[in-house]
Structure 1
Amino acid sequence: MHNFVIEGGTVVTMDGARRVIDRGTVHIRDGRIAAVGESEAPEDGVERIDASGMLVLPGLIDAHAHAGHALVKTLASDDGQGWFDACKQLYTSGSDAEFWRADAALFALERIRAGVTTGVSMLGGGDSISRTDDPRHGDAHCTAIEAAGTRAVVAVGCNRPPFPWLYKDWDGSGSDEPISFERQLEVSREIAANWHGGAGGRLSVALTYPVSHENQALPEGVTREMVTDHARQVRALSRELGLRFTQDGHREGSIAYAHREQDILGSDAYLSHCTNLTEADITALRESGASVVHNPSAIASVRGRCPAPELIDLGVTVAIGSDAPAPDRSGDMFRHMQQAMHYHRRHFRDDQVLPPGKALEMITIDAARAIGMDAEIGSLEPGKKADIVLLDLRKPHLVPANMPLHRAIYFANAADIDTTIVDGRILMRGRKVQSVDEEAVMDAADAAIARALERTGLHHLLEIRPGFWGKSRYS
């Protein structure tokens, strides 16, 4: 970390007054923002970064994604169930510690290039596959984030019963290892002890447990009481350790069930997807104070709708997440912000719904509030962490040079980010990443997924499905 000043750009503070300062300055000292204001001369000897023609923004926040997904993009060629089944097999039987390191490094690189300074990633796929059989997988993920220099939340927890779950131990005996609920809970505690507050405070750990439904079909030998007991044990551990609690895939009554029957929600919880909510779900959100992470580009948002505008009007904190870069998405939060606006405007047939300023809040200050970090990140204010991105407005799709906020929110994309700064450390400048070797990261990612596919025999998922060409829908 060193001291410098960013000057000459349009500073979008996202502070309480939502100040936008033309030709403003941001002074960074010892990894934090020292001052924000009109142009003024910096101290002698302090480095100056010229942001002329750029927006100066708080680092963008991706409030929900999955570790592992950076390596499985487009597998199964748009067959949703086939892709989901492949994730289960790859994550439990095809992956080793290097897989999770390579995946984390690749997604961190994508986020750096997209101006995403903070990202949440669940250590596994779907809503029920946590790679918590052994702490080395979480260690590998976190070590890669530490090296990349980004800020991250890794969510770990336990699978659904029945137990034991079988995980292939490729880093040890090479055999199938039976893993109990108690083992997953123990590993989750160990990962939290090793990494919460790690990497100089850039790494946080959250706990997670799969979503339950009142009328959920349960496997033989599994009772609702067993599921509730497991959920409460995970939640008790999060409260004991002072960790946030998150769940993936809420829909149609599950929030009310989590609140009233399981008693696992609270103001320290954030819940992803939240589609087709009932009135009881919405009441549970308001009573519990839990936040929502809307994933407008996800398959869940094709099959159902998160009532994000309605929740916002009721005072619920709503953030936006990418849901990770697979099977058919990316880490580009501009894409997801734009998708959210069009998605809800189409639903209401009303182009006044979800104004662009609110959409930007949902990937900055609102997202920071949802994950419990709004005292430190999400806006450019003195005392906060120096997580800052510069967006280059001198692009044909962002010109003419007027209404810069509207232009950026409606038309920008990840490739328009010029500079990414986390904790006062410049991770990318002039589109050149400085914290990691990009080629080495991509080579390691290619090698890791190739090994996993070889181990699982899933190479056929790389083939193009019938109906790809010439038809209005897949066969």
Structure 2
Amino acid sequence: MSVLHDLLIRCATIVTVDLKRRVIENGWIAIDADRISAIGAGEAPKAKRIIERPGLIAMPGLIDAHSHSGHGLVRAAGDGDGDLWFRICEEIYAGVATPAFWRAEARLAQMERLKAGVTTAVSLLGGGADVMRTDTPEAGDVHSAATIESGLRTFVAVGPGRLPFPKHFGTERRAVSFEQQMEVCADLIARHDDILARRTGVALILPVYSNAHMELHGPEIRRMSAAMRTLQDKAGVLFTQDGHRTGTIALARDLGLLSPLAALGHSVDLAEEDFAALRETGASIIHNPSAIMSIIGRCPVPELLEAGVTVCLGSDAGAPDRGFDMFRHMAQAMHYHRRHFRDPAVLPEGKALELCTIDGARALGVADQIGSLEVGKKADVILLDGRKPHLWPPVMALNRITHFANAADIDTVIVDGRILMEERKVSHLDLGEVLADAEAEADRAFAACGRMDTRLESPETWTQARRMAGAYRPAGSED
């Protein structure tokens, strides 16, 4: 008796990213419940539901290992003035942002990810100058609820803000200690950390500290680091950080923060001691090629890969000048490092795709379950519409995907075997409602902190070679 599968996908091309890196032409994928049950070519088995349209290219769901909650509603605020951008983030995220703000932003971000084929992401609960909204669990709760509603997978990264403590939150500027923020983190982990079954995960985050910070606050940083590592070990969760640069990875190792479940964002202008720390601990690097920090410094991705370090890709969120289109970030990464070495052989197309599929899964500790199309793995599958002028003729799938595809080419998204989008239609979410709520909450937040004027573009954007707006500075660099 032949098997009747739940779902069958017939494709022009399947890019598996499996151990053999197979690219299968005129193939099929069978799905039962939440798992891939068979992959093959030629005659296909029977199924209750079949997806079959000309030119479909199947690949693993894309993974964005570093982004920020909140950023979707502030977008380009400050018009290029970096210092103003950070002030706006802090005033909104730590001050006037309500649970309705975090809910509206999370729903907007998830809609953007869904439309772009990003099935798994890490989203820091705040950002700017290390503003993590962990005074209460409310922001984390609504973010997790938006993830469940969308059907995608998201790790929400939570942790204490930058020294000194206490931090002050809300319109009433209520003081919150490090210990109180850690209690909120533990609560969120207990209730939401189940990335495979529930699709919500929780990661821990601590601000990046340098030797200069250690001279000022050494005992306190060591105490906080020990408490963070204790909670991470107890809960077995991912640890991440945002904004590493010369020498700070080695310091994080010395503080006991690094392990194979540590994924470190940006990581520019690294020293040999940082390379050594990564090799010793098994920690991973998250490259953000489209971020402003990659303009003011360089993450040495080819060198890290050749040193045996796991590297993955992150968008760095939907603001101030980028989005969740991982195709853009793949292409940006290739050109970024090829230009540095003046060598078009650097960072080949297949490796670029690995950075936001299997390597992303490895960095997040879930490579045995997602990140490639293999029998027994979770059925997280995206389908590209290959019958587009910019994706034609139908040859060299890796080249088409990494150089020419974009988010708008995503036709279908499947997570846990559930079809979330088909032919770019999302039936379980109301796009109009999501957009209206996001607009209203953004307007409310900017009005509440008196920053409506920062959403206007300056005349300096026209006719001249460079504008005079304040330069970007990495968070904490002023300390």
TM range (shorter): over 0.9
CA contact (8 A) 2:247 2:271 kept: yes
Number of residue pairs the alignment of both structures matches: 464
With normalisation by structure 1, the TM-score equals 0.95
CA distance in 2 between counterparts of 1:37 and 1:51 reads: 17
Q: Per the alignment, in what secondary structure is the counterpart of residue 128 of structure 2?
A: coil
CA distance in 2 between counterparts of 1:8 and 1:123 reads: 38
CA RMSD of aligned residues (A): 1.4
- Residue pairs, 1:76-475, within 5 angstroms: 76-126=78-128, 128-168=130-170, 175-197=172-194, 200-216=197-213, 223-260=217-254, 262-475=255-468
Aligned partner of 2:475 in structure 1 is none
CA distance in 2 between counterparts of 1:8 and 1:350 reads: 34
1:28 to 31, 39, 56: 31
For residues 233-289 of structure 1, the C-alpha deviation after alignment (integer angstroms, 9 at most, x for no partner) is 1121011111111111000100011112x1111111010100000010111111111
For residues 330-386 of structure 1, the C-alpha deviation after alignment (integer angstroms, 9 at most, x for no partner) is 100000000000000000010110000000000100010001110110000011110
CA distance in 2 between counterparts of 1:472 and 1:353 reads: 30
For residues 164-203 of structure 1, the C-alpha deviation after alignment (integer angstroms, 9 at most, x for no partner) is 21111xxxxx632111111100000011111011784311
Aligned partner of 2:6 in structure 1 is 3
CA distance in 2 between counterparts of 1:424 and 1:86 reads: 40
For residues 128-167 of structure 1, the C-alpha deviation after alignment (integer angstroms, 9 at most, x for no partner) is 2110000011001110111011011111111122112111
Q: Per the alignment, in what secondary structure is the counterpart of residue 223 of structure 1?
A: helix
Question: Percent identity over the alignment?
Answer: 49
For residues 78-98 of structure 1, the C-alpha deviation after alignment (integer angstroms, 9 at most, x for no partner) is 112211221111101120001
Q: Which amino acid aligns with 2:59?
A: L
CA distance in 2 between counterparts of 1:157 and 1:140 reads: 16
CA deviation after TM superposition for structure 1 residue 465, in Å: 2.4
Aligned partner of 1:171 in structure 2 is none
CA distance in 2 between counterparts of 1:460 and 1:217 reads: 38
CA contact (8 A) 1:127 1:248 kept: no
CA deviation after TM superposition for structure 1 residue 303, in Å: 0.4
CA deviation after TM superposition for structure 1 residue 74, in Å: 0.5
CA deviation after TM superposition for structure 1 residue 214, in Å: 0.8
Q: Per the alignment, in what secondary structure is the counterpart of residue 212 of structure 2?
A: coil
- The runs of at least 4 aligned residues of structure 1 exceeding 6 Å deviation read none
CA distance in 2 between counterparts of 1:68 and 1:433 reads: 23
CA contact (8 A) 2:210 2:247 kept: yes
CA distance in 2 between counterparts of 1:32 and 1:84 reads: 43
Q: Per the alignment, in what secondary structure is the counterpart of residue 433 of structure 1?
A: coil
Q: 1:311 to 1:327 in 2, by over 3 A?
A: same
Q: Which amino acid aligns with 1:290?
A: A
CA distance in 1 between counterparts of 2:177 and 2:36 reads: 46
CA contact (8 A) 2:11 2:57 kept: no
Q: Where in structure 1 are there 5+ consecutive unaligned residues? A: 169-173
CA deviation after TM superposition for structure 1 residue 217, in Å: 8.0
- Residue pairs, 1:54-69, within 5 angstroms: 54-69=56-71
Aligned partner of 2:50 in structure 1 is 48
CA contact (8 A) 2:66 2:121 kept: yes
